[in-house]
Amino acid sequence: MLLPILILLPFLGCIAAAFMPTHARNREAWFDAAIALTSLILTLSQYWFISDGNVLRYQVSWMEQ
């Protein structure tokens, strides 16, 4: 479940920043920095898994056959 969060987090952050007031530039900057830092931490948390030669994968069961 980590991979979809990692992919969608920047997009959700952009949508949330678009709805912030126009005079809240400092708040937007801190919010964007928090999104980037969170994405970096999530990516670094998977370093040992990837460095062993594994691949991050998210599989969704679509339809029963």
> pLDDT (tens digit, 9 = 90+) per residue, 48-63?
999 999 998 888 888 7
- Is 36 a member of any domain? yes
- Is 55 a member of any domain? no
Q: What is the pLDDT of residues 8-51, one digit of tens each?
A: 999 999 999 999 998 888 998 999 999 999 999 999 999 999 99
- Is 63 a member of any domain? no
**Helical H segments across 2-62, by residue range:** 2-18, 25-45, 47-51
pTM of the model: 0.79
- Is 57 a member of any domain? no
- Is 62 a member of any domain? no
- Is 43 a member of any domain? yes
- The pLDDT of residue 65 is above 70: no
- Is 38 a member of any domain? yes
Residue-range definition of the domain harbouring residue 13: 2-49
Domain tally, the chain = 1
